[in-house]
Chain A
Amino acid sequence: MNKDTLFKWLTALLAFIILLLGIGILVKLLISSRLSFDVFGFKFIFSREWDPVQRLFGALPFIWGTFVSATLALIIALPISIGIAIFLSELAPIWMRQPVSFIIELLAAIPSVIYGLWGLFVLAPVMQQWVEPLLGKYLGFLPFFKGYPLGVGMLTGGIIIAIMIIPTISSISREVLSAVPQHQKEAALSIGMTRWEAIWRVMLPYGRSGIAGAIILGYGRALGETMAITMVIGNTPSISVSLFDPAYTIASVIANEFTEATDELYISSLIELGLILFFITFTLNVIARFMLWRMKRFEEVR
């Protein structure tokens, strides 16, 4: 065989590793969680019990905690991220754009454990002493802000994750906004829109597919976030409407209990939780990539 063909096949063979990995992860998780699935079936997802001593395992509190903390993070991060994207693509003077986006993107580089450390020793006490009592005092009539301010809990967890996903959403949204053709903006301004209206009614809708992709990507990252949230969410498998209460996420329970789990059913249940997380994040990623890809293709066609 000629050496060029050999080289091509060598690279193709290595590329095959990626396929094997993708399939391997799925298959391995399926096999390892088999025991738990055989014992609990689909009840696993809907059961609230998590009692390793009695060997009862249910995923609901973790699924709840994962989705609520990620959704909360998204609610906090979204307006700020879009605000940053608008600032960087429309408002900031040209000389300021690169350094500011450089700094914002540094937020994504800080390791998760350091967010956790800061959240645990700086943010949580601030939340406990100042923010949560204030929220309780003025918004305490809402079920979300009832209960005793502990500092660690859903709200603190949501804020920490929000900080972590801001760079993801803002940098993609900024790129999307910058990709909106100039004539769209000029047309909007020429019919008498204000600059804000041009952004809000023309540019953002024009890039909606890309921004939706950015949001889903950020949401996926929020769902899978592990170390930081483990350190500040309080790690209590309960389902509560109040954001002051401690909660537990899928990733956190795996991080906390995996090395302690000696019982086979226990480990298998934790792995099934991992499988659920895998499915959720994988699906979200596929959707996000599709949205961003559609945006790009739309660009090319135009």
Chain B
Amino acid sequence: MMQYTRRKLVQKVMFSFSVASAFIGISVLFLILGYVIYKGVWGINIDFFTKLPTPVGVAGGGMVNALIGSFYLVGLASLFSIPIGILIGVYLSEFGRGPFASAVRFISESLTGIPSIVMGIFAYSVVVIPMGRFSALAGTFALSLLMLPIIVKSTEELLKMVPNDLREASLALGIPRRKTIIRIVLSTAKSGIITGIMLAIARVGGEAAPLLFTAFGNSYINWRPDQPIASLPVQLYVYAISPYEDWHQKAWAVALVLMGIVLITNIVARLYARKK
């Protein structure tokens, strides 16, 4: 057995390391947040939210195309994946026994671990190739694929937390199964499901990889689903890796806006869940 003082020393060293780790984690976060705010805040003005991007070297301009594009893509993807995701979650939690449900659960969980760029390739080969061009629809499809398994999983877990007494009480009153599920079970778990949805939205809102060769990009505002569309993450990437200094400046402003939207959504969702 080691000397007691030595064992105490080991403890001290290890505990200090543990405290230091937490400190590192927190400081890295604030370092990144702080730097993005510091560099980006100068580029934020009314023009940023209302004007189209200017060519290289021309001062001013904004990101309204990417801003609208991001909301468009995420909004449309939510429209598909939220109702479908919730209903699949209902199936898994309320009816899902047996091999079919296990298979669905397994595939769904596995899909959450597939890199988003692979989803991009899939969307490319099933939407872009048949259509013959990059399109908002393809981008929406890729984002939906990313959102769906997240919503399925959170819905299933939350519905399983609803006590069985509620279901039984409702059924005992003669309320049909489907109404019990919709009116009682789903509405009991409502706030949690909303949190799950918001987290999924925050997650895909920052994704660039699956949009690179699906939604592609666009220097103008686009509302048509069959045309390429800009988005904040892709615009940020293109500006960041460009060789132009003034584009780098603009990239920081895009980063600040994107980070603001994503983090606020994430924080609000988690605080909301905690309060309940």
Contact = CB atoms under 8 A, between A and B. Distances in A.
Interface of A: 3-4, 7-8, 10-12, 14-19, 21-22, 24-25, 28-29, 32, 79-84, 86-88, 91-92, 100, 102-107, 109-118, 120-122, 163, 166-167, 170, 194-197, 200, 217, 220-221, 223-227, 231, 251, 254-255, 258-259, 270-271, 274, 277-278, 281-282, 284-286, 288-289
B118 A113 contact: no
A11 B208 contact: no
A111 B116 CA distance: 12
Given A15-B101, A111-B233, A118 B25 contact: no
B32 A110 contact: yes
A83 B18 contact: yes
Contacts of A227: 208-209, 233, 237
Interface stretch (B52-60, B82-90, B188-196): B82-90
Nearest to A193: B7
Interface string B115-143: 11111111011100000000000000000
B251 interface: yes
A91 B110 contact: no
A143 B120 CA distance: 37
A114 B29 contact: no
Given A7-B177, A14-B91, A166 B25 contact: yes
Contacts of B111: 18, 21-22
B221 interface: no
A22 B107 contact: yes
Given A106-B267, A109-B262, A114-B32, A25 B88 contact: no
Contact of A11 (B10, B88, B255): B88
Contact of A255 (B10, B100, B152, B209): B209
Interface residues of B, number: 86
Contacts of B148: 18, 21
B101 to A, nearest CB: 7
Contact of A109 (B22, B95, B149, B263): B263
Given A196-B14, A251-B209, A286 B110 contact: yes
A118 B32 contact: yes
A21 B214 CA distance: 18
A109 B145 contact: no
Contacts of B71: none
B17 A83 contact: yes
Grouping DSSP codes into helix (H, G, I), strand (E, B) and loop, the B interface class, with mixed when no group exceeds half, is helix
A21 B176 contact: no
Say what secondary structure dominates the interface of chain A: helix
Given A111-B233, A197-B7, A281 B95 contact: no
Given A87-B21, A116-B237, A196-B14, 12 more contacts: A8-B91, A83-B17, A111-B208, A111-B262, A120-B240, A122-B35, A167-B25, A195-B11, A220-B113, A224-B114, A281-B115, A282-B110
Interface string B134-173: 0000000000010011001000000000000000000000
B230 interface: no
Given A4-B178, A197-B11, A271 B121 contact: yes
B103 interface: yes
A86 B114 CA distance: 29
Contacts of B237: 113, 116, 227, 231
B258 A111 contact: yes
A118 B207 contact: no
A284 B23 CA distance: 30
B252 interface: yes
B104 interface: yes
Nearest to A118: B32
B41 interface: no
Interface string B229-272: 00001001100110000001001100100110011001100100
A100 B27 CA distance: 11
Determine which residue in B177, B208, B213, B258 has the highest number of CB atoms from chain A within 10 A of its CB, and name it.
Answer: B208
A19 B104 contact: yes
Interface-centre pick from B120, B122, B203, B241 (highest chain A CB count, 10 A): B122
B108 interface: yes
Contacts of B42: none
21 contacts: A10-B87, A11-B90, A28-B126, A29-B122, A32-B121, A80-B25, A83-B21, A84-B21, A105-B270, A110-B29, A111-B208, A111-B259, A112-B206, A114-B32, A120-B241, A200-B14, A217-B113, A226-B115, A274-B121, A278-B114, A282-B113
Contacts of B207: 111-112
A18 B108 contact: yes
Contacts of A111: 205-208, 233, 258-259, 262
A96 to B, nearest CB: 9
B109 interface: yes
B36 interface: yes
Contact of A28 (B109, B122, B266): B122
